[in-house]
Amino acid sequence: MAGTFNLVVVAPAGEVLNTEAEFVLAPGAEGELGILANHAPLIANLVIGVVRYTQDGKVEKIAISGGFMEVAQNKVTILADTAERAESIDVDRAEAAKERAEKRLREKQSETDMIRAEVALKRSLARLRATDKL
Ligand code: ATP
């Protein structure tokens, strides 16, 4: 059986998770990053998406909207712009955000507004994915 490592997820408001995990899969800017115990040191950019980790063989999910991941000395630290554990995600709010963003994209506003709507859409989709609502 593979070993475990300390997984910490921090958002601006504070620590979202601090646990022992067997595996973590994070949305890296250049693709998914999978980390097991005793991984070599690493710093990576993360994008909007879902962080999946396993604990006692069970997969848990956290939605993040980008940030950084540091791997060092059998500890993985994720510093995220926003982070919510699946069970604390308000599904109705994420669905409303998704519909608002899709409406803005259909209305084809200024380029800045379109980019903002695309990013908001990605955040809402990540939240819905983390709760298995997509
Ligand atoms: P909304 O339009 O619903 O506010 P948003 O994508 O603009 O969504 P953010 O700016 O990413 O929201 O997040 C603001 C704060 O609200 C953060 O602390 C984030 O963790 C929290 N948050 C956003 N959406 C949800 C949600 N659906 N469930 C729980 N927390 C959420």
Q: What is the pLDDT of residues 66-125, one digit of tens each?
A: 999 999 999 999 999 999 999 999 999 999 999 999 999 999 889 899 999 999 999 999
Q: Indicate the top mutation candidate among 61, 65, 82, 92 to test ligand 1's pocket, ranked by most ligand atoms within 8 A of CB.
A: 82
Residues 40 and 81 in one domain: yes
DSSP 41: P
95 CA → ligand 1 middle, Å: 11
Q: Indicate the top mutation candidate among 84, 99, 115, 131 to test ligand 1's pocket, ranked by most ligand atoms within 8 A of CB.
A: 84
Structure tokens at 5: 């490592």
Residues 10 and 51 in one domain: yes
* pTM given for the model: 0.95
The pLDDT tens digits for 22-64 are: 999 999 999 999 999 999 999 999 999 999 999 998 999 999 9
- The CATH number linked to 57 is 2.60.15.10
Residue entry with tokens 């990013």: 119
Residues 13 and 64 in one domain: yes
| Distance (Å, whole) CA 71 – CA 38 | 9
Ligand 1 contact, 123 CB (< 6 A): yes
Residue entry with tokens 């997820």: 9
| Distance (Å, whole) CA 9 – CA 69 | 9
Ligand 1 contact, 99 CB (< 6 A): no
Give the rounded distance of the alpha carbon of 56 from its chain centre.
20
Structure tokens at 81: 């712009």
128 CA → ligand 1 middle, Å: 12
Q: Provide the domain limits for residue 125.
A: 91-130
- The CATH number linked to 107 is 1.20.5
Atom of ligand 1 nearest to the CA of 120: 6
Helix (H, G, I), strand (E, B) or coil at 113: helix
